[in-house]
Amino acid sequence: MVLVQPQTNLNPLLFSDVKPGSSKSSLDATSSSPTKKKQIVVIIEEGKLPSLVQVNANMGSLNDLSEADDVFMKMGFNLEKDDQIPSDIVMSSKKCLDQHNIDLIPIDPSRPLIEQGPLDCVIHKLYGPDWMSQLLHFSSLNPDAPIIDPLDSIQRLHDRISMLQVVRNLKVSERNQVLDVPRQRFFSDSETMMKNSDDLIKKLGFPLIAKPLMADGSETSHKMYLVFDKEGLDKLESRMIIMQEFVNHGGVIFKVYVVGDFVKCVKRKSLPDIKEDKLVTLKGLLPFSQISNLEEKTDCGGGGEFDRVEMPPVDFVEEVAKAMKEETGISLLNFDVIRDARDANRYLIIDINYFPGYEKMPNYESVLTDFLLNSMEKNKSGDVSMVREHDDD
């Protein structure tokens, strides 16, 4: 059980990553009256320790940070691939900080969480049993400090089997649109897969998508392949592998961003359709990193076709998003949806991500700020319980 309740009428905001070595990613300290102590928000993101160390080097120790009356931090959202945080991100972040009097304090994941503070809110993207233990310990001693989101709920999305089971559990009303997931098979290793390859091909056909079982954001979890024939299956050398059917979907994917009650659906270009006459010309397998080669071979993506693709019905997307939030207990997520090219009313969810890169979502700064402010206010008034008990499936 993770306790998530606000302490006072204080305002949180979000910090996701600060790029080391960038002058725009430094913290600026200013002075103010001690009576105007600002909210402290702690953000941890997996794999970002070097960035956090850089921040600490700029400002001194974390104890020094927690004693400061006014600390301002430029915030970034999954911008680790960029050399610098864009100036518009910096300026919009500063406006939010000025408006809501917010302190943003990164912590050192190598030190016990309970020793770093005082902390009024924790927004995290760090995983594992040690971190779970730290969150539970922190919550037991700080029951009024919100933790967003519950770690056990997040971990359901790190397994591509339990992830799609979430979709099967969604309670969505009967309507013209049908919600589904791709068919898939799990194999403990490639040798076992090859022993069962005839049955796999019979049930799922080609092409197939090969995915690691774990979807934890690691480099390995992103190593995926399109497999076109049995020779391609034989080239796979993996353990704990998911083989998933490929569904033609017009080369368009719909990415649905959820921030509390806010839902935004955008369309993006995706893998091109692979029709039977093209499939016979494709051999072996192709890493997702080389998908541009496939687009050339399939003559995908003509001109304004993408622009003419209709969006899914808004009420359908919002209903699915609400059900997703209720089923997972997660407030910050996105899920990827494709529309079956053979049936315009059949939608398949193929991926669910916790705390995605919101920088591609329009007006994400104000949306995230409003969510955190509203979450604190709702919990203060007792309108919403932020305590979640997760029962194993």
Average pLDDT along the chain, 393 residues, taken 10 residues at a time? 30 33 34 42 47 31 33 27 37 57 70 81 80 88 82 91 96 94 97 96 97 90 95 94 97 96 95 93 92 59 77 98 96 96 97 87 81 68 42 40
- Tell me what pLDDT residue 4 has: 29
CATH of domain 157-354: 3.30.470.20
- Tell me what pLDDT residue 97 has: 52
**Residue 341 and residue 273 in contact, taking contact as beta carbons nearer than 8 Å:** yes
Residues of the chain with CATH 3.30.470.20: 157-354
What fold characterizes domain 23-149+362-381?
Rossmann fold (3.40.50)
pTM comes to 0.76
**Residue 252 and residue 302 in contact, taking contact as beta carbons nearer than 8 Å:** no
Residues of the chain with CATH 3.40.50: 23-149+362-381
List Cβ neighbours of 55 (8 Å cut-off, separation of 6 or more). Answer: 18, 25, 26, 27, 73, 106
- Tell me what pLDDT residue 293 has: 61
Q: Residue 107, Cβ neighbours under 10 Å: how many? A: 23
How far is CA 45 from each of CA 88, 108, 135, rounded to the nearest angstrom?
Answer: 22, 11, 14
Q: Helix 87-100 vs helix 364-381: angle between axes, to the nearest 10 degrees?
A: 30
Q: Which amino acid, residue 38?
A: K
Q: Helix 314-328 vs helix 160-169: angle between axes, to the nearest 10 degrees?
A: 120
- Tell me what pLDDT residue 338 has: 98
Dist CA 27 CA 74 (whole Å): 7
As a whole number of Å, the CA-based R_g of the chain is: 23
Helix (H, G, I), strand (E, B) or coil at 23: helix
- Tell me what pLDDT residue 62 has: 31
- Tell me what pLDDT residue 274 has: 94
